[in-house]
């Protein structure tokens, strides 16, 4: 339980630091019989790859995934799938000026407090590169979900003060702008805002939204292993996420019951809700409506303007962080949110299989 | 993994339905040597007991805890502590009108979708009474934390539109008003608002805030088992919670990095931060500042005004829910938030003990 | 992970000491829709109940199970099933002479070493009464397995030097003699041996064998979660068990490969083996043949003849243990072996459900 | 829970097939501050490396370990340690004759039954090469244990009918003969026996014994997570192991209580036992005496003499397995038993740290 393993039946184990030779993930519990190639994984990895726009780090990484095990003749075999990605651009720069610093907003101090030692090169294990393992595994989880007709769409809803109103969503735009916003006009506004941030040697936060369609009703376990509880953990485990909400989320706190309740009705062959304030989850289980969640992402802590902080010896210092840093974390975290959602959903779909005796009997007939 | 067990080293297992004979929890992993009496648990249970104000259900329950195991001569022995609370006021009313209904905002439909069967009496396992086990266990976790000088304070920050501004907090008030708000004047305003809700046969949501002091730095595991990730799961697992945030939370999404970063400085014999936008957690580990979290609670779904919904046969019905229901969940959920926080913190403090080799060697010397 | 919780999807949580007010278990993860009554559980509990023959303790316990939750209108609901059994005959004798003793073969010293405190009355949590929770839960697991046509038979193969040869097994006898041996003549010999033990103020060990029929092939997870690995843990976790073997077990260590290999052949519509040296498990997965396991049970450590030992103050003492002790543990442990086997099998059957993609797709179609 | 992850606090995740490009393990939960080099791991891997004697496969593998993460400036950092070993001698032979066969004593059939697909090249995931990950991780666990003065010695007690009597043990011999027997004369006898096996196109089983010194008393959790229960699982999870015993094991089943009980006495500053029939474990916790366990290993299933079996189409075939196979598994499994023991002990030592309140308080003072 040192924290780099996730899941109950569909489990992943990630490893690797920013400036090590490589980084990777092992997936244990992927069902046998899934066609899988390195391209499937590459598509996901490319979404979080650096160097794709002026708002992402100039670090030059191909981020090419190699599958080392668990796939035979193009199909998963049920055994662990090990995926390795080499770090290519570990700039061997001089870390003399930050190796002992406690950068504001970073995990330098807490790592030292916990372990007494820390790989300070590029943030070590707390670097954004840690998410590569999540995304590689998320690609597989997403492919499995697609086989069950479950689909996930994630995007940047807000960048700093620029928020795309729900009425102006156009999912077709998401991959048309480098910020992954569901509206190109707002993406342009957000870009202008980010350029101001860069000019001011500052950074911006934002909100990622994620929508899941096709989830059957009744997925999630009651009490502690609720679907929303597990999603909250999954999303909050992403570095820089400071808040998670489902459906109306914090707005529900101000609402009246009569407005927040979703009325049930019969729609053709299924049970549906007239509204979806619940965000697709009731009592910790999926209710058949789209699942909607949002993550609040804090501004990139690495900023170029000088900050007063201390080093590990307790001495006051002034720190200016130059180098390869995104002015906003949100765009590259979109696929991470998508991946963590996928990993959580496939796991809970598997766990749910033994909830009813008649289905268990049927399965083994 | 059916969901009624929580924790890794400090584990709890809860059971019981609203209208069963009793309800309870077993705690496995409590260290030996803690003085423990039923009074310790009763103090916590009393905070969530019904019938304490006009805003809580009239259900008449003593909620008396009995310790059945794990305590010998007044001390915990390290073996499982089983606690049982009898349900006394399971009104044997006629459930004919709701047994087949899918109440809006409730888990009736999702329970049926998952299990195909449901104890419809008083909500069964999805009743608010499910939290009794959490609170009884939380009392023990809190007592352990106090021995480590870790203290938790939770309160209602908002009821509907009434929010207590941080500048007007007075923790001494929390137990002086039946809404557990940290300001009696705002509590009075909130009471008036709730009376309007009742008059309108409606209900209100709100926000619970929780502050933890005394946590040593470095607690929490990196990557998936971050302290904030586990707190998010713990809090989101409470029925009716739709959002969780740490520190500035969703506000951080709109902030600039220069404003959101907390500057480190040396304070006497420890490292401190000039501000606490992080809410006491950096990189998934406690940073030594107070931990601050907030939970968004939706309005009570049971409202007296008629709602259009369907029954399990897909037939449209109009439903008015009368009976013993709080117009707001927040006040009675305050101690549940406190309990889930305590359960999570003690578990992560235990897990952390093997993080450094020198301390491991020292322990077994 | 303090050790009183067992299972991954079908989980049980046991509690209670020998001389507490009661003892019990909570089952979390039982599929919904299983008809269940207290009688189902009682049948199992009665097999381990004291006072049934001259070779079992005179302690007078009805061991009546009460189901407190999780069953509604005669069926399991998928929510936790809490079962409580009251201790009735906790003789309030004077423990002055043993409260500080370290009885040979008992856990007194190790409990003190671990916890520094110990409920010395009747062995506390390390009493044989601890197994009541296992057996109550095992009754439910066995009923589920029967629905899948999986059946478990356990019996005493050996008592001290008296061993029933496989050629003379008659399962019909198992419930005809108080030692649960599969041959009444050998049971008589064993009884005579036990009477000699009693006369000599001594005790006997023995071997329990357990046979499972009907398991589909392919159950068990590869590498660490092999079916045999989990069975070994389950059986070795029973107090007094010092060895576990599958199929030919320790005999296989002396065999030639040509003799130990089981040849496959086609039998009607299934694949079968001409012999079953493997004991029904190959590569950690069930192979379709009957699963066969054996547990070595040490002699009852409580004996009436004086033993030299020490007390917790390190002082030498002579100890004669009188009172209510079985001269052999085996007969009453037979149903415990059966229960632990059932709990392990149902859990692994559930876990196996997501092993193949086509079956996963089919399940959610 | 697909089975390639082991441990609670000290967790390992293994991956890789016999004929993939590489094989490996990730260790999550290793305390920070352990000096670690690839040589530490190589020493362990070399013990199970093929090609070291006439009794081991001629497969030519360097089995060189590369550490990819988790170590910085020669020390562990607390983050996951990923270790990769390349497969070099994956003979690209024609598998046409065995790809569809169900080899007797192998997992071919059970893999197909579970997954419907199988990497048949060299046994895939059920190859002995799967143990490389266990051994690489075991090297780290052993190094940690040495820091706590816990030492493990494993050796071949028996090869077929040749058993070294305890009175003739000489641990100095273990590394002097290629069979890892604690007596060179018996090793010679065993070698002669193995040559007969080879001549007869047959194979042999054997028994591995493992002794642990230095374990403090009180380690292991009560009830289900007993130390012996976890060791039994760990050892039984090794391919080809069919039995596990602790202390007197199956001999205890025939013993009298008066002979099997170990009498306590005061030895200088500690509590000791006059004998060690218990094998160092009482009530599931270490008792301060050496821990003694034995594993029964079945004969190598791959034998050259023709065997009648079937293929996956149910057709009868005669199969002669030529190629690179050891006539006995025992010698190369010795270090695997040592490794699984080490992994289990370090995990339970870590878990034990929160058993007493006063030590918990002290830790965080």
Q: What is the pLDDT of residue D98?
A: 79
Shortest distance, CA C13 to any CA of chain A (angstroms):
15
User: Tokens standing for A228?
Assistant: 């929303």
Q: CA-CA distance, C288 to C286, in Å (whole number)?
A: 6
Q: Mean pLDDT, to the nearest integer, of B34-61? A: 85
For residue B205, the chain A residue with the least C-alpha distance is A253
Whether the pLDDT of residue B89 is over 90: the answer is: no
Question: How distant is the Cα of D293 from the closest Cα of chain C, in angstroms?
Answer: 9
Q: Check whether D151 has a pLDDT greater than 80.
A: yes
Closest approach of D68 to chain B, Cα-based (Å)? 18
Q: Which of B11, B76, B357 is most worth mutating to test chain D (most D CB atoms within 10 A of its CB)?
A: B357
pLDDT at B54: 75
- Kindly list the residues from chain D whose CB atom is less than 8 angstroms away from the CB atom of residue A114: 32, 78
pLDDT tens-digit readout, B190-222 = 999 999 999 999 999 999 999 999 999 999 999
Predicted confidence band of residue B269 (pLDDT cuts 50, 70, 90): confident
Q: Determine what percent of chain D is predicted with pLDDT higher than 70.
A: 97
Give the Cα separation of A78 and C285 in Å (integer): 14
* Residue D137 φ then ψ, to 5°: -70, -35
Q: Report CB contact under 8 Å: A107, B265.
A: no
Tell if the pTM clears 0.90, that is, is over it. yes
Read off the tokens for A122. Answer: 């590029």
- Flag the least confident range among B64-78, C34-48, D119-133: D119-133
Residues of chain B neighbouring D147 (CB-CB closer than 8 A)? 357, 360-361
D contact test, residue of B284, B360, B362 with most D CBs within 10 A: B360
Chain D within 8 Å of A74 (Cβ-Cβ)?
no
Chain B within 8 Å of C113 (Cβ-Cβ)? no
pLDDT < 50: residue spans in chain C: none
Pair of tokens at residue B135: 């609170």
- The answer to whether D4 contacts A14, with C-beta atoms less than 8 Å apart, is no
Which pLDDT score, from 0 to 100, does residue D58 have? 66
The string of pLDDT tens digits covering residues B154-195 is 999 999 999 999 999 999 999 999 999 999 999 999 999 999
Region of residue A72 (left: phi > 0; alpha: psi -120 to 50; beta: else): beta
The answer to whether the Cβ–Cβ distance between D254 and C1 falls below 8 Å is no
pLDDT at position A58:
67
Strand ranges (E), chain C? 5-6, 11-15, 22-28, 65-67, 71-72, 75-76, 81-86, 151-159, 162-163, 206-213, 241-246, 264-267, 270-273, 281-282, 285-286, 291-297, 307-310, 316-319
d(CA C330, CA D264): 25
Mean of all residue pLDDT scores within chain D: 94
Please report the beta strands in chain D, taking only residues with DSSP state E, as ranges in sequence order: 5-6, 11-15, 22-28, 65-67, 71-72, 75-76, 81-86, 151-159, 162-163, 206-213, 241-246, 264-267, 270-273, 281-282, 285-286, 291-297, 307-310, 316-319
On whether the CB atoms of residues D301 and D93 are closer than 8 A, the answer is no
| Phi (first) and psi of residue A10, to 5 degrees | -100, 100
Which of A246-250, B94-98, C234-238 is predicted least confidently? B94-98
C105 to D282: CB separation less than 8 angstroms, yes or no: yes
Interface of A with D in 23-52 (CB under 8 A): 23-24, 26, 28-30, 32-33
CB contact under 8 A, C223 and D130: yes
pLDDT at A1: 84
* Contact with chain B for residue D353, Cβ under 8 A: yes
Q: Return the pLDDT at B93.
A: 65
**Average pLDDT over all residues of chain B:** 95
Q: From the CA of A290, how many Å to the nearest CA of chain C? A: 17
Q: Is B323 on the interface with D (CB under 8 A)?
A: no
Mutate to test the interface with C, among A1, A2, A225, A364 (most CBs of C within 10 A): A364
Q: Test B218 with A356 for CB contact under 8 angstroms.
A: no
pLDDT of residue B91: 63
φ, ψ of residue B333 to 5 degrees: the values are -85, -10
Inter-chain residue contact A357 with C33, CB threshold 8 Å = yes
Nearest chain A residue to B225, by CA: A3
Q: Is the pLDDT of residue B80 over 90?
A: yes
Task: State the pLDDT confidence band at A324, using cuts at 50, 70 and 90.
Answer: low
C vs D, Cβ pairs < 8 A, gives: 405
Residues from chain A that touch D14, judged by Cβ atoms under 8 A, are 80
What is the CB neighbour count within 10 angstroms for residue C38? 16
- The answer to whether A364 faces chain D, any CB pair under 8 Å, is no
Q: Is the pLDDT of residue B256 over 70?
A: yes
Residue D53 — pLDDT band, cuts 50, 70, 90?
confident
Given a contact cutoff of 8 angstroms between Cβ atoms, the answer to whether A345 and A4 are in contact is no
User: Is some CB atom of chain B closer than 8 A to the CB atom of A72?
Assistant: no
In this prediction, residue B324 carries a pLDDT of: 67
Residue B326 in this model has a pLDDT that exceeds 80: yes
Instruction: Give the pLDDT mean for A281-293.
Output: 98
Cβ–Cβ gap B79/C1 under 8 Å: no
Compute how many other C-beta atoms are within 10 angstroms of the C-beta atom of residue D66.
15
> Of the candidates D195, D186, D118, D114, which has an alpha carbon nearest to the alpha carbon of residue D155?
D186
Residue A91 has pLDDT above 70, yes or no: no
Residues 6+ apart with CB under 8 A from D314: C266, C271
Taking the Cβ of residue C115 and every Cβ of chain B, the question of whether any pair is shorter than 8 Å is answered with yes
Q: Which residues pair with C245 in a beta bridge?
A: C294, D243
- A5–D13: do the CB atoms touch at under 8 Å? yes
Distance from CA of D152 to the nearest CA of C (A): 20
CB D82 within 8 A of CB D66: no
pLDDT at A325: 78
What share of chain B has pLDDT > 90, as a percent? 86
Q: Which residue has the higher pLDDT, D360 or D122?
A: D360
CB proximity B175 to D under 8 Å: no
Candidate from B109, B204, B263 with C-beta closest to A264: B109
Q: How far is B155 from chain D (nearest CA, A)?
A: 27
CB contact under 8 A, A144 and C360: yes
Query: Is A269 touching B (CB cutoff 8 A)?
Result: no
Q: Which chains touch C (3 or more CB pairs under 8 A)?
A: A, B, D
Which chain C residues are Cβ-neighbours of D258 within 8 angstroms?
A: 200, 202-203, 303, 305, 307
Q: Is A233 on the interface with B (CB under 8 A)?
A: yes
Out of B3, B205, B217, the one facing A110 most closely (by C-beta) is B217
Model confidence over A119-176: pLDDT tens digits? 988 888 988 999 999 999 999 999 999 999 999 999 999 999 999 999 999 999 999 9
Chain A hits for D2, CB-CB cut-off 8 Å, are 9, 11, 28-30, 78-80
């Amino acid at each position: 339980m040192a924290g780099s393993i996730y899941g109950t039946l569909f489990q992943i184990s990630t490893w690797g630091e920013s400036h090590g030779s490589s980084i990777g993930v092992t997936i244990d519990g992927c069902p046998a019989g899934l066609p899988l190639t390195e391209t499937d994984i590459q598509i996901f990895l490319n979404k979080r790859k650096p160097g794709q726009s002026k708002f992402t780090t100039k670090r030059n990484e191909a981020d090419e995934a190699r599958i080392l095990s668990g796939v035979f003749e193009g199909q998963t075999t049920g055994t662990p799938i090990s995926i390795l990605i080499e770090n290519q651009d570990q700039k061997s720069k001089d870390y003399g000026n930050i190796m002992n610093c406690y950068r504001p907003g970073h995990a330098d101090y807490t790592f030292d407090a916990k372990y007494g030692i820390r790989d300070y090169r590029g943030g070590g294990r707390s670097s954004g590169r840690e998410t590569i393992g999540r995304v590689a595994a998320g690609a597989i989880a997403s492919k499995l979900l697609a086989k069950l007709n479950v689909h996930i769409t994630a995007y940047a809803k807000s960048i700093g003060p620029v928020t795309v109103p729900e009425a102006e969503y156009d999912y077709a735009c998401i991959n048309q702008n480098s910020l992954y916003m569901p509206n190109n006009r707002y993406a342009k506004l957000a870009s202008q805002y980010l350029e101001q941030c860069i000019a001011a040697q500052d950074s911006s936060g934002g909100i990622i939204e994620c929508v899941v369609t096709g989830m059957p009703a009744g997925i999630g376990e009651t009490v502690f292993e609720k679907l929303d509880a597990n999603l909250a953990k999954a999303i909050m485990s992403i570095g820089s996420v400071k808040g998670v909400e489902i459906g109306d989320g914090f707005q529900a706190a101000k609402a009246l019951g009569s407005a927040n309740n979703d009325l049930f009705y019969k729609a053709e062959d299924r049970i549906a809700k007239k509204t979806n304030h619940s965000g697709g989850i009731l009592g910790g289980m999926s209710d058949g409506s789209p699942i909607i969640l949002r993550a609040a992402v804090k501004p990139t802590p690495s900023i170029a303007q000088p900050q007063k902080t201390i080093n590990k010896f307790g001495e006051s210092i002034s720190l200016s962080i130059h180098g390869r840093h995104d002015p906003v974390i949100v765009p590259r975290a979109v696929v991470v949110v998508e991946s963590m959602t996928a990993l959580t959903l496939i796991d809970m779909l598997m766990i749910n299989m033994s909830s009813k005796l008649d289905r268990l009997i049927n399965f083994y007939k």
